[in-house]
Homo-oligomer: A and B are copies of this chain.
Amino acid sequence: MSSRTLTPVSYLVLGLIAERGPATPYELKRRVAGSVGHFWTFPHSQLYAEPARLAREGLLAEQREPAGRRRRTYRLTDAGRGALRRWLAEPTTGSVELRDPGLLKLFFAGQADDEELARLVATQEAAHRARLREYERIESGLAVDQRSRYALATLRMGLRHEQAAVSFWREVSGWLLPGDDAA
């Protein structure tokens, strides 16, 4: 019941349980995999540590299975629901970084020769294109019901980002590389 400031992962766990009911850490892991994990990942060890912290603070209630099982199920407490709703209502802080290793390499591309740069550009464009296709596939498979409205919306932001990235990498070699300008 102490008072650390909750992290995004905290709210992720609270939110996942609020929306789809009580869960074990393993179940959380699977919920993450199919949804929010697309734009916000973390190792599964977090999904064991964080609920334990939240339970200590009274935001989740822990229920052990009867026998000598290791399984624990967490459900939301009123305090937990309150914390989640307060977070949703409060002004959004925090940075929106684009931690893209490909972009970091591009930033330092002056240290590489043109051939390496060309290879970087090609692989990045291909990677983003692949991700774009994957998102499109997921989108077409997502039911357009009430339940998944918000998941669908976030997915669409991912789609737009990948579209931007694909067109960026397609054009960037024109800005940077000499020779191959068809103009």
List residues of chain A with CB under 8 Å of any chain B CB: 8, 11-12, 15, 18-19, 35-36, 39-41, 84-85, 87-89, 91-112, 116, 119-120, 123-124, 127-128, 131, 147, 149-151, 153-154, 156-158, 160-161, 163-165, 167-168, 172, 175-176
Copy total for this chain: 2
Candidate in A93, A94, A150, A172 with the most chain B CB atoms within 10 angstroms: A150
When C-beta atoms are compared, the residue in chain B nearest to A116 turns out to be B89
Interface residue SS majority, chain A: helix
A34 to chain B, nearest CB (A): 12
- Nearest 3 A/B pairs, CB to CB: A15-B108, A94-B101, A160-B164
Contact between chains at A108 and B18 (CB < 8 Å): yes
Contact between chains at A102 and B112 (CB < 8 Å): no
Instruction: Out of B94, B107, B127, B167, name the residue touching A154 (CB < 8 Å).
Output: B107
List of B residues within 8 angstroms of A176 by Cβ: 149-150, 153
When C-beta atoms are compared, the residue in chain B nearest to A40 turns out to be B99
Contact between chains at B92 and A120 (CB < 8 Å): yes
List of B residues within 8 angstroms of A94 by Cβ: 101
A-B contact pairs, 5 of them (CB 8 A): A8-B101, A12-B104, A40-B99, A156-B172, A160-B164
Candidate in A19, A153, A176 with the most chain B CB atoms within 10 angstroms: A153
